Amino acid sequence: MTNPESGPEMVAPTRAEAPDGAAAWVRPAPPMKAPAPRVTRRMPRWSEVRELVQFRRPTADPVRRRLEGALTIGDLRRLARRTTPRAVFDYVDGSADEGVTVARNRAAFRDVTFLPEALHAVKDPDLSTDLLGRRISMPFVFAPTGYTRMMHHHGEAGVARVAQRNGLPYALSTVGTSSIEEVHEAAPEGDNWFQLYLTNNEALNEELVDRALAAGVTTAVLTIDTAVAGRRLLDVRNGLTIPPSLTLQTFLDMSRFPYWWVNKLTTPPVEFASLRDFPGTSADVAALLFDPGLDYDDLAWLRRRWPHNLLVKGVLNPADAERVVAMGADGVVVSNHGGRQLDRTPATLHMLPAVRAAVGPESTVILDSGVTHGQDIVAAMALGADAVMAGRAYLYGIMAGGERGVERAVEILRAEYQRGLQLLGLDATSKIARHHVSIPGGEAWPPSDRRPEGTWPAGSWV
């Protein structure tokens, strides 16, 4: 007998007599194992098989087919690379110099750690939030981007329609390829913003402000991090410069995409639409927009001239954020231009808490640069943002499938955001708090305002 608590039975070897009379140890054969129980088999019913084998319904629409297979923004990026000329894709995907800032932006989000709460009902969470006096469906703003109709002929008008349908703001760029008036016509009920490059031409500045007001723009966004253009090496190598200087390789690559070419040649020309009446070449326009003379006096002029919400975009330094708010700005967009201007700047997520502390709780703070996942939105909100801006995320969508691709990008981000909120144990955007996240080198959990005196020593949650 074996002791059931001491493990399996051990069979001791036995002593046997060898032919020559010497003693030998012989291990007996192990006991026979019991036969496996017999399996009863039967013919399956079709109803049971049908439940297990259900195929996706095929579609003849190639755009729908590829978008349905896109489950992440990364999937949309891969589709965009397959459906768009390489030079155009590189314009969206590329960065300044060595791409250090782009890598830092993404690494900052990846390094976030979430701490969920348990046993909270999270059915039907409320994703909406208040931003600049309006209720929006989730804390997301379509960032201003240039040359959007170069990526797909639906362009800015298509993006504005998606934003209107989803109850989200859309910011048109001064270097957009659709005009302020065209965007207003496409989305007359939308929360339309206008990103403004103040030029060294005062008459043109006045005209742009007047047109934005006439088109019902609710928020002006002054970009301040473009004193000169960033050095984007992929664009230079591809010849996608101002003016263009395409290489033979770039031209041959573009010839592989006839659908793209046909749409470019049979729709209105790609141009700086809001500046189409400005005399001069595209190089003259670029020289006008990148003004190294921009200073605080220009901000003061715009604040006097613009009667509605005013945000300043391109702020990283908390001292700058504090000063622009003191001068009358309604808030700031913490941005490093998506890593497309000065390289080696800090990740915007890392600067966000300090900027929020500098401007206080009443000013609007939006985080831009690096947002490619719905959980990035959760992290930004927990660290002090009122909303996020993203450009590349939806541009991958428009390259992959036009307006429908932009819609798919929103669906992906919304689903990821909702799932992240629910898995944190929250049923509303308003319940996201600082103690739900930690970043490397950040404050211990819980933060000092939530920590009972004498408990939770620093470093317990970093």
Catalytic residues: 337
Give the DSSP letter string of 74-118: HHHHHHHHHHS-HHHHHHHH--STT-HHHHHHHHHHHT-EE----
**Cα 382 from Cα 426, distance rounded (Å):** 12
What counts of helices (H) and strands (E) characterise the chain? 18, 14
**Cα 437 from Cα 460, distance rounded (Å):** 13
Structure tokens at 443: 């404050």
Q: What are the angstrom distances between the C-alpha of 27 and each of 14, 21, 127?
A: 6, 18, 71
β-bridge partners, 126: 428
**Cα 181 from Cα 149, distance rounded (Å):** 16
Q: What are the angstrom distances between the C-alpha of 304 and each of 174, 297, 428?
A: 20, 11, 37
User: In this structure, how many other beta carbons lie within 10 angstroms of the beta carbon of residue 68?
Assistant: 12
Structure tokens at 100: 């250090």
Dihedral, 93, 98, 104, 110 alpha carbons, nearest 10:
60
**Cα 177 from Cα 303, distance rounded (Å):** 26
Say if residues 456 and 445 touch (Cβ distance below 8 Å). yes
- Closest by CA to 350, choosing from 256, 452, 440, is 440
Q: What are the angstrom distances between the C-alpha of 8 and each of 14, 82, 162?
A: 19, 60, 67
